[in-house]
Amino acid sequence: MFRTFNFPKSPLRGDLEGLSSLPHGGRVGDGACVFNSKLLLFGEYGLMFGAKALSVPFDRFSGFLDFDSDQSHQESTTEIRKFYEHLKTDDDSQKLNFPFDLQSLKTDLEKGLYFNSNIPQQYGVGSSGALVAALFSRYAESSVPEAELTPESLKVDFSMLESYFHGKSSGIDPLISFLNCPLLIDSKKTIHHVKINLAETDLSFALIDTGTTGPTGPLVQHFIERSNFPEFKLAFDKQFIPANNGCVESLLNGDQQNFFLFLEQLIHFQLQHFQRMIPGDFHGIISAALTEKVFIKLLGSGGGGFLLVISETKNGLKNWAGKNQIELLMVN
């Protein structure tokens, strides 16, 4: 299925003619509605305060709605049922641009609806975002005219829907899973489709499994509380946001030299100010890796899950990992 959205014009935006999204709207469980995980490369936390964000789909992990014929996935069914009860009673749900068909959702839950997914939960790769996108596609989108499904209106609904899982959500994760294309969110929160393929860059990207989960809600709340302190907010505005935006712009423009300069500034800020978001054993690893031109940063809210690793070459990255006995999940 093909869909073209009227994204705002941008010099970074790719040609949107024939923009393909994931197949959706098919029968539950027939394999037609698979939703990928995502990688938020840049913009974690900064998105709340006008920083740019760059996120890409990650097809290593994905999920789709299915029926639990042997009752071996009751935990997933229970979680979706709780979400259904939330939609049924929550006042904010009445403000959705695209309301859910709650009766159909209830009927399918009685048949054992669950999310058949290999996306690790609380790992920073958008497990709840993919679930929201899948549920929206099945129970809300089918009754909406195609022209009304703008990225901005979708993001508003996805923000409200995913906030159930995290307490506060930008809506970007479900949007990435739903559209299945790289997105740039600029400082005015305007959404642009961008042409970036990590496999075609001269850089090497990988993930490190920290071996622990990172619950998003408490960390977001911790960040919001810290943002109330003028000293932290000033440092965030003067250091984090310029470094973050510099990473985004230089990566999209192919400016490798400035990209690594900004990336190192960003990592130093995270080491100094995001200590709670970095699992304890990794503070030293991240700091030491900088001396070998291996750059390790948070992926999403942090606290556990995956860390994002970026290096100039794949061989250099693998040599570093072997020397430090660190297992990598290569992205490109």
pLDDT recorded at residue 286 = 97
Q: Which two tokens stand for residue 259?
A: 């990209």
Map residue 65 onto helix, strand or coil: strand
DSSP state of 236: I
From residue 15, give the alpha-carbon distance in Å to each of 110, 149, 198, 253. 43, 19, 18, 16
Q: Do the beta carbons of residue 32 and residue 23 sit within 8 Å?
A: yes
pLDDT recorded at residue 148 = 81
φ/ψ (deg, to 5) at 64: -150, 160
Domains of the chain: 35-193 (3.30.230.10), 198-330 (3.30.70.890)
Establish how many alpha carbons lie within 13 A of residue 56's alpha carbon, considering only the half-sphere containing its beta carbon: 17
φ/ψ (deg, to 5) at 209: -85, 115
Euclidean distance between CA atoms 205 and 330, whole angstroms = 6
Which of 226, 231, 239, 223 lies closest to 301, judged by CA?
A: 223
Euclidean distance between CA atoms 215 and 81, whole angstroms = 21
Looking at the chain, which runs of residues are DSSP E strands?
A: 35-42, 53-67, 113-117, 183-185, 191-193, 204-209, 294-298, 306-311, 328-330
Which of 212, 43, 222, 221 lies closest to 122, judged by CA?
A: 212
Q: Which two tokens stand for residue 155?
A: 């993001």
Establish how many alpha carbons lie within 13 A of residue 270's alpha carbon, considering only the half-sphere containing its beta carbon: 33
pLDDT recorded at residue 222 = 92
pLDDT recorded at residue 215 = 80
From residue 313, give the alpha-carbon distance in Å to each of 52, 201, 293, 299, 330. 26, 10, 10, 20, 12
pLDDT recorded at residue 142 = 74
pLDDT recorded at residue 91 = 78
Which of 167, 164, 196, 202 lies closest to 181, judged by CA?
A: 196
Q: In this structure, how many other beta carbons lie within 10 angstroms of the beta carbon of residue 82?
A: 11
Per-residue confidence in pLDDT tens, the chain, 332 aa: 223 333 333 333 333 333 333 333 333 444 458 999 999 999 999 988 989 999 999 999 999 999 998 888 999 999 999 999 999 988 777 788 899 999 999 999 999 999 999 999 989 999 999 999 999 999 998 777 777 888 999 999 999 999 998 777 889 999 999 999 999 999 888 999 999 989 888 899 999 999 998 888 888 889 999 999 999 999 999 999 999 999 999 999 999 999 999 999 999 999 999 999 998 889 999 999 999 999 999 998 889 999 999 999 999 999 999 999 999 999 98
Q: Do the beta carbons of residue 208 and residue 224 sit within 8 Å?
A: no
pLDDT recorded at residue 200 = 86
CA 316 to chain centre: 27
CA-based R_g, the chain, Å: 20
pLDDT recorded at residue 166 = 76
The H or E element spanning position 127 is helix 127-139
CA 260 to chain centre: 22
pLDDT recorded at residue 165 = 87
The residues with which 115 forms a beta bridge, in sequence order, are 65
